[in-house]
Structure 1
């Protein structure tokens, strides 16, 4: 089985666990040391994916949000079992399982599966980005061709994080120069970008598992994905993604400030 087929089966496995619990709302919620919520469903999804990878890709490493890193291979599967846990626990359908595979710092593939939205997105390096809805065939997706900030739409998660990293003024300046801003948040901002529905997406504080699957999809859709300092990929501690035409303008508005912390 090739890597993309395996990643698709991993997403199917995750959906079979998470969507059942989301529909029933039959889980308990704990608070992690960083004050973010976690459910037994987060842990069950990550455990199921890790178990399958141990069976089918025993030589590969696995990095997950809930159980950390296992293995030393440069081929790394990066897993966020439920991106958007706060939405998940409140019954908001904007959450997804994020699965990606990297060779060192180079993306091989990414899959984003959002069963409560009935949507899935995926990309493999060099082969384009795709999306599908329940019961519908896959379609190739591409970023917009908007090339002026005053015509652009931006999706973001919240304002508080921008203040914490000292970029609130720059973020507000960026927002003031745009046609439209909306807080769709989390993975969904970047999938809307890849589909051409928005033109910019950014978040001030992110971990590797938050971004790993997003990067190949955005890039294969024709977009650009960096941190606020312009460093490409998911290793820079935060994210600025665009349709490529607007990227340098957005970084200028944000001040090209490096985040306080970076991933690895």
Structure 2
């Protein structure tokens, strides 16, 4: 079984746990020390993925949102069991399991599975990015060709984090320069970007497990993914992703501001 086949199996496993509980809304919600919600579904999905990786890739390391890091291999699986937990607990279908594999800081693959939307996206480095709707054949996806902010659509998550980062006015300036802004939020902003449905996506505070799976999909779709300081990849504590044509213009408005810290 190759890595993408394994990632697909892991996503199927995750969906089999999370989706039925989402439909039934039969779970309890706790608040973590960082004041974000977590459910037993988050933990059950991550545990199931870790267990399967322990069988199929015992020499690889794993980083998950709920149970942290395990192993020391540079080949590392990065897992967010339910990205969009606040949506999950309120019955909003925009949530997904994020699975990626990195060799050191080099992305190998990323997979995003959103069973409540009936959608899945994936990419392997050098092999393109793909999306599939339930019951439909997979299709290759690519970012848009919009090259002016005034003609472009921006998707974001919230405003509070930009205030905490100290650049809320810069972010609002960016919003005012766009043709359209919408808060699609979480993983969905970046998948819409990869499909060419929006042209720019950004968030002020993110952990590695929030971004690991997004990066290879955006890059393989022809996009660019950095932090606000322009550092590429998912390691910079926040995200600015674009169709590549708009990237420098967006960073110029946001001021190339270094995030307060990074999360691993």
2:23 match? 23
Q: Which residue of 2 aligns with 1:118?
A: 118
DSSP 3-state at the match of 1:136: coil
* Alignment TM-score, normalising by the size of structure 2: 1.00
The corresponding residue for 1:51 is 51
SS at match of 2:107: strand
Distance in 1 between the 2:130 and 2:40 partners? 30
- State yes or no: 1:100 paired with 2:100: yes
The 3-state SS of whatever aligns with 1:162 is helix
Partner SS for 2:216: helix
Q: Where does residue 179 of structure 1 map in the other structure? A: 179
Confirm or deny: 8 A CA contact 1:234 1:263 kept in the other structure. Answer: no
Counterpart for residue 263 of structure 1: 263
**Residues 174-205 of structure 1: CA distance to partner in whole angstroms, max 9, x if unpaired?**
01111000000000000000000000000000
> Are 1:85 and 2:85 counterparts?
yes
- For residue 263 of structure 1, report the CA deviation from its aligned partner: 3.3
Distance in 2, matches of 1:262 and 1:29, equals 27
Asked if residue 236 in structure 1 is aligned to residue 224 in structure 2, the reply is no
SS of equivalent residue, structure 2 residue 86:
helix
**Number of the residue aligned with 1:131:** 131
Q: Partner of 2:109: helix, strand, or coil?
A: strand
1:216 aligns with 216
CA distance in 1, matches of 2:183, 2:120: 20
TM-score in terms of structure 1 length: 1.00
Give the match for residue 254 of structure 1. Answer: 254
Q: Hey, what does 1:160 align to over in structure 2?
A: 160
Cα distance, 1:262 vs. partner? 1.5
Distance in 2 separating the partners of 1:66 and 1:236 = 20
Tell me which residue corresponds to 1:39. Answer: 39
CA distance in 2, matches of 1:207, 1:14: 20
Following superposition, the deviation at residue 94 of structure 1 comes to: 0.1
For residues 35 and 2 of structure 1, the distance between their equivalents in structure 2, rounded to whole angstroms, comes to 38
Distance in 1 of aligned mates of 2:99 and 2:167 = 29
- Compute the RMSD of aligned alpha carbons: 0.4
* Structure 1 unmatched ranges of 5 or more: none
Partner of 1:188: 188
Unaligned runs of 5+ in 2: none
